[in-house]
């Protein structure tokens, strides 16, 4: 786990804004020091907040006689891009036991509750919906209790506060109605004396407390499939963080309001790979089902839906029936269910009609209309950069435009965290630049240390490295662009080694109606450990995650002018061929293939191994990615401890 910036309160207090006429005692801004140590690429907004808020917190600590307390600034949530503003580390003044206070800092001067909810806040400073600061810091506390061994074994050692130093009790009076507890309390700028008393009661300086926290083992974070199985069995203590929690609360708030006032509304949740969209979806589904709402979870993916049904079937047919496909809502009556959760909504198609639809049931009705009409609260979770087929049309604009025509309000929550790829926002940016998915972008060198990226010179080397990771206790899969013909199984059920690269060859994953004794069906390839023996494609990998990913960039990409470009003729996916009546133009093919590789490159949680068939692409990657000796290997993770 990356380390926070460690400093004492008395040192931070030196950076208080200068009083007129006073001499400055520091050579650099606090934000410059933090950025040099911890976050070189922090935004200007983040840097301004460090300079404005951290010294105010430090002054309260100094005034409380706690100037030597360790402040762990920008403390990272394990395997995540999210960070607590500060964790104060010390010991209990009475017992000497380790004590830690997680602090969320806000520069808000005025805020109030919104949506008739006690957990959703509207601030005049941000002019947007926010999670209540008490719930935000509670989420951090619970998350750290789950995944940091030092805190998992001693959950009582953690407390949390939100400090709104620019606000007064009067200017945020609505927020103070939220019931406080050990994991979440709120203090304003006119409560500094109360806050100082709070710190004195809980903390006494002891540098060993910070050492023990920073040296603590990090427990293995549950995979999405592990979480889903647990959540469907019973309510878990898994902590949704920040806007994940806001999105979850938005869904529950909207259905409650719909039932009370017959107000239909639409919730849209967007975020990149690993931002936690599906975690929000499953959490909301499980909670609504427990509360007795009529709810369904739908996708356009056979692999995702089949896997969800496999995990839920242990709970019986009733729960299993919650998981279905978009096309099943073509004939549903309007508002026939309370909540329809549409995960992977970028896979919404133009219509539900396909070649298997009976002629008398064929219709040109847009699939978005069917989905939006079916529920009192339709919920759409999507990432527009994961559209990989010509008939997939799910976008925020499509949803907004259709809702506007129907007169339904839309509530849009953006997830900006990263909980896959080692929690590395830098890696996600690197992939976007590599694939040219940002206007005017060029591939950039990989300089990250929070996710393992390796480029290999052969598929044999890729497979060997991944086998070593499996031997260490991790999970791994190999994927490729759809650049080789996909053969049907032989008469004896065995698979054909279609993916041939030199003298190395492996089969594509099993089709769904193949012999399950030979290999897992396509829909379970990502979840079944036997899937490592085959090469997965975007249709079997999308929506899933595993510890280590091997990705083969096929002959459908090459290099021109130091950029990766698409070579259409190198792709063999029949879905991208088009017909005379419905042609797929080069511009669309270009976007779909780039999106495909973004999906494949962002499935892994711990590290990715990349091989490119085209020598020029391979050479470009070798120039961008450091040699294997300079890449940090996270190594085996500690196994999950169950509370």
pLDDT (tens digit per residue) in 201-236: 999 999 999 999 999 999 887 778 888 888 888 776
Check residue 314 and give its pLDDT: 67
Note whether 21 and 35 are same-domain residues: yes
- What is the percentage of the chain residues whose pLDDT exceeds 70? 93
Identify the band that residue 562 occupies on the pLDDT scale cut at 50, 70 and 90.
very high
In a domain, 609, yes or no: yes
pLDDT (tens digit per residue) in 73-91: 999 999 888 999 999 999 9
Whole-number Å distance between alpha carbons of 5 and 34: 6
Note whether 195 and 235 are same-domain residues: no
Note whether 166 and 50 are same-domain residues: yes
Check residue 150 and give its pLDDT: 93
Check residue 550 and give its pLDDT: 98
Residue 574 has pLDDT above 50, yes or no: yes
CATH code, 364: 3.40.50.300
Note whether 364 and 455 are same-domain residues: no
Check residue 449 and give its pLDDT: 83
Check residue 259 and give its pLDDT: 78
What are 61-65's contacts with CB under 8 Å, separation 24+?
61/9, 61/13, 61/88, 61/196, 61/199, 62/9, 62/10, 62/13, 63/192, 63/196, 64/196, 64/197, 64/199, 64/200, 65/200
pLDDT (tens digit per residue) in 157-202: 999 999 999 999 999 999 999 999 999 999 999 999 999 999 999 9
In a domain, 599, yes or no: yes
- What is the percentage of the chain residues whose pLDDT exceeds 90? 70
What is the chain's mean pLDDT, rounded? Answer: 90
Check residue 237 and give its pLDDT: 63
Check residue 33 and give its pLDDT: 83
In a domain, 193, yes or no: yes
Residue of 378, 373, 375, 379 whose CA lies nearest to 277: 379
Of the listed ranges 48-57, 134-143, 230-239, the least confidently predicted one is 230-239
Residue 426 has pLDDT above 70, yes or no: yes
Residue 262 has pLDDT above 80, yes or no: no
Check residue 358 and give its pLDDT: 61
In a domain, 112, yes or no: yes
Residue 585's region, left for phi above 0, alpha for psi from -120 to 50, else beta, is: beta
Mean pLDDT of all residues in 358-380: 86
Note whether 411 and 425 are same-domain residues: no
Residue 238 has pLDDT above 90, yes or no: no
Whether this prediction's pTM lies above 0.75 is answered by yes
SS3 of 269-323: the string is EEECCCCCHHHHHHHHHHHHHHCCCCEEEEECCHHHHHHHHHHHHHHCHHHHCCE
Note whether 189 and 81 are same-domain residues: yes
Whole-number Å distance between alpha carbons of 61 and 185: 17
Whole-number Å distance between alpha carbons of 350 and 168: 51
Check residue 195 and give its pLDDT: 98
Check residue 629 and give its pLDDT: 45
The domain boundary residue, chosen from 368, 385, 415: 415
Note whether 382 and 523 are same-domain residues: no
Mean pLDDT of all residues in 401-406: 96
The domain boundary residue, chosen from 173, 188, 214: 214
∠ CA(516), CA(519), CA(525), 5° rounding?
105
Identify the band that residue 628 occupies on the pLDDT scale cut at 50, 70 and 90.
low
In a domain, 636, yes or no: no
Mean pLDDT of all residues in 525-552: 94
Check residue 320 and give its pLDDT: 82
Check residue 466 and give its pLDDT: 97
Note whether 88 and 208 are same-domain residues: yes
Note whether 16 and 102 are same-domain residues: yes
Residue 350 has pLDDT above 80, yes or no: yes
Of the listed ranges 43-57, 130-144, 216-230, 265-279, the least confidently predicted one is 216-230
The domain boundary residue, chosen from 385, 415, 445: 415
Residue 53 has pLDDT above 60, yes or no: yes
Residue of 267, 294, 293, 291 whose CA lies nearest to 280: 267
Q: 183-220 in b/e burial notation, b at 16+ Cβ within 10 A? A: bbbbbbbebbeebbebbeebbbbbeebbeebbebebbb
pLDDT (tens digit per residue) in 270-315: 999 999 999 999 999 999 999 999 999 999 988 899 888 888 776 6
Note whether 234 and 199 are same-domain residues: no
Identify the band that residue 383 occupies on the pLDDT scale cut at 50, 70 and 90.
very high
Q: Which residue has the tokens 């957990």?
A: 119
Note whether 168 and 295 are same-domain residues: no
Residue of 62, 74, 71, 85 whose CA lies nearest to 192: 62
Identify the band that residue 639 occupies on the pLDDT scale cut at 50, 70 and 90.
very low
Identify the band that residue 257 occupies on the pLDDT scale cut at 50, 70 and 90.
confident
In a domain, 131, yes or no: yes
Identify the band that residue 440 occupies on the pLDDT scale cut at 50, 70 and 90.
confident
Check residue 153 and give its pLDDT: 86
Note whether 269 and 396 are same-domain residues: yes
Domains held by the chain: number? 3
Query: By residue range, what is the domain housing residue 155?
Result: 5-214
Residue 385 has pLDDT above 80, yes or no: yes
CATH code, 599: 3.40.50
Check residue 355 and give its pLDDT: 58
∠ CA(545), CA(385), CA(583), 5° rounding?
120
User: What is the radius of gyration, based on Cα positions, of the chain?
Assistant: 26
Check residue 26 and give its pLDDT: 60
In a domain, 640, yes or no: no
Residue of 540, 598, 240 whose CA lies nearest to 384: 598
Identify the band that residue 21 occupies on the pLDDT scale cut at 50, 70 and 90.
very low
In a domain, 635, yes or no: no
Residue 559 has pLDDT above 90, yes or no: yes
Check residue 25 and give its pLDDT: 58
Mean pLDDT of all residues in 467-488: 95
CATH code, 146: 3.40.1350.10
Residue 368 has pLDDT above 50, yes or no: yes
Residue 593 has pLDDT above 50, yes or no: yes
Of the listed ranges 40-44, 345-349, 534-538, 576-580, the least confidently predicted one is 40-44
Check residue 40 and give its pLDDT: 65
Whole-number Å distance between alpha carbons of 545 and 522: 15
Residue 42 has pLDDT above 80, yes or no: no
Check residue 128 and give its pLDDT: 82
- Sign of the CA dihedral running 570, 574, 579, 584: negative
The token pair at 529 is 């450990």
């Amino acid at each position: 786990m990356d380390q926070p910036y460690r400093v004492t309160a008395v040192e931070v207090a030196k950076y208080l804004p200068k009083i007129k006429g006073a001499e400055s005692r520091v050579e650099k801004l606090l934000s410059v020091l933090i950025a040099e140590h911890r976050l070189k690429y922090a935004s200007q907004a983040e840097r301004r907040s460090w300079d404005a808020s951290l010294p105010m917190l430090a002054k309260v600590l100094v005034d409380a006689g706690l100037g030597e307390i360790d402040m762990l600034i920008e403390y990272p949530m394990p395997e995540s891009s999210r960070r607590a503003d500060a964790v104060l580390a010390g010991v209990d003044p009475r017992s000497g036991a380790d004590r830690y206070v997680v602090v969320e800092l806000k520069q808000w001067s005025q805020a109030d509750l919104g949506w008739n909810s006690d957990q959703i806040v509207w601030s005049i400073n941000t002019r947007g919906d926010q999670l209540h600061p008490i719930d935000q810091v509670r989420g951090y506390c619970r998350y750290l209790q789950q995944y940091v061994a030092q805190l998992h074994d001693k959950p009582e050692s953690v407390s949390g506060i939100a400090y709104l130093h620019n606000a007064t009790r009067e200017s945020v009076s609505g927020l103070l109605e939220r019931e406080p507890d050990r994991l979440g309390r709120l203090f304003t700028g006119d409560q500094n004396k109360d806050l100082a008393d709070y710190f004195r009661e809980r903390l006494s300086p002891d540098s060993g407390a910070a050492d023990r926290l920073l040296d603590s083992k990090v427990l293995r974070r549950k995979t999405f499939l592990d979480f889903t199985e647990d959540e469907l069995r019973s309510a878990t203590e898994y902590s949704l963080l920040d806007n994940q929690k806001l999105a979850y609360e938005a869904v529950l708030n909207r259905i409650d309001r719909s039932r009370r006032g017959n107000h239909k509304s639409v919730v849209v949740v967007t975020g990149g790979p690993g931002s936690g969209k599906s975690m929000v979806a499953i959490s909301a589904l499980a909670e609504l089902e427990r509360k007795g709402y009529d709810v369904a979870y739908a996708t356009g993916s056979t692999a995702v839906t089949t896997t969800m049904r496999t995990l839920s079937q242990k709970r019986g047919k009733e729960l299993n029936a919650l998981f279905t496909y978009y096309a099943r809502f073509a004939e549903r009556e309007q508002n026939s269910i309370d909540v329809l959760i549409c995960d992977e909504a970028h896979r919404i198609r133009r219509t539900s009609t396909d070649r298997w639809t009976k002629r008398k049931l064929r219709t040109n009705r847009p699939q978005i209309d069917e989905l939006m009409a079916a529920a009192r609260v339709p919920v759409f979770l999507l990432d527009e950069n994961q559209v990989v087929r010509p008939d997939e049309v799910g976008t925020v604009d499509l949803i907004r435009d259709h809702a506007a025509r129907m007169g339904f309000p839309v509530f849009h929550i953006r997830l900006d965290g990263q909980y896959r790829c080692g929690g590395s926002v830098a890696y996600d940016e690197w992939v976007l630049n590599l694939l040219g998915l940002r206007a005017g972008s060029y591939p950039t060198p990989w300089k990250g240390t929070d996710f393992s990226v390796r480029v290999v010179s052969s598929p044999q080397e890729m497979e060997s490295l991944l086998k070593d990771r499996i031997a260490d206790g991790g999970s791994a899969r190999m994927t490729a662009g759809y650049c080789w013909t996909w053969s049907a199984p032989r008469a004896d059920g065995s698979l054909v080694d279609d993916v041939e690269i030199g003298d190395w060859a492996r089969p594509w994953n099993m089709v769904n109606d193949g012999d399950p004794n030979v290999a897992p069906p396509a829909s379970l390839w990502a979840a079944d450990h036997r899937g490592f023996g085959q090469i997965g494609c975007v249709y079997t990998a999308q929506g899933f995650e595993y510890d280590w990913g091997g990705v083969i960039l096929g002959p459908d990409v090459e290099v021109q002018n130091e950029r990766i470009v698409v070579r259409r003729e190198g792709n063999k996916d029949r879905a991208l061929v088009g017909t005379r009546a419905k042609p797929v133009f080069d511009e669309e093919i270009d976007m779909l293939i780039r999106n495909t590789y973004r999906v494949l490159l962002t499935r892994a949680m711990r590290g990715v191994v990349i091989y490119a068939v085209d020598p020029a692409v391979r050479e470009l990657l070798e120039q961008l990615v450091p040699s294997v000796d300079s890449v940090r290997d996270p190594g085996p993770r500690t196994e999950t401890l169950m509370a």
